[in-house]
């Protein structure tokens, strides 16, 4: 399975451009809903991604949880996610049933309290 669909790639890019424009305007950012949830099926890692960098589409921003009890907002290289393998050799997968129910900040708040992404 491809890590991201064309629609998701396009939406991540649109969000990235919108945030770059907003930062130029007033220094703030949009609080988007996650576009995609990725996870490691044989591990505890999960990523909720909202946008890609307009200057480098390989860099995505979102809520990242490596399964160590300290999820955080940050960036990740999509090419690295495509190469990650878990304990049993399984690759990162896209959650086909994920539908966002809130903005990234609400997921981040819940994740900090729970010590993991709850989505």
The model scores a pTM over 0.85: yes
Cα dihedral sign, 86-104-37-61: negative
CB 111 within 8 A of CB 64: no
Phi, psi of 74 (to 5 degrees): 180, -170
Can you tell me the distance from the alpha carbon of 111 to that of 48, in angstroms, rounded to the nearest whole number?
Answer: 11
Local confidence pLDDT in tens for the 119 residues of the chain: 689 999 999 999 999 999 999 999 999 999 999 999 999 999 899 999 999 999 999 999 999 999 999 999 999 999 999 999 999 999 999 999 999 999 999 999 999 999 999 99
Q: Which pLDDT belongs to residue 95?
A: 97
Q: Which pLDDT belongs to residue 1?
A: 67
Q: What residue spans define the domains of the chain? A: 6-114
Cα dihedral sign, 110-10-38-119: positive
Q: Which pLDDT belongs to residue 2?
A: 87
- What residues have CB less than 8 Å from 69, skipping those under 6 apart? 115, 116
């Amino acid at each position: 399975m491809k890590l991201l669909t064309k629609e998701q790639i396009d939406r991540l890019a649109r969000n990235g451009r919108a945030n770059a424009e907003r930062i130029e305007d007033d220094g703030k950012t949009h609080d988007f809903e996650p576009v995609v949830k990725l996870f490691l099926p044989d591990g505890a890692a999960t990523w909720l991604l909202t946008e890609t960098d307009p200057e480098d589409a390989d860099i995505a921003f979102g809520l990242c949880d490596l399964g160590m009890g300290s999820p955080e907002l940050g960036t990740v290289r999509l090419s690295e996610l495509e190469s990650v393998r878990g304990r049993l050799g399984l690759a990162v997968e896209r959650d086909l049933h994920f539908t966002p129910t809130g903005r990234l900040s609400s997921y981040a708040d819940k994740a900090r309290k729970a010590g993991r992404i709850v989505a």
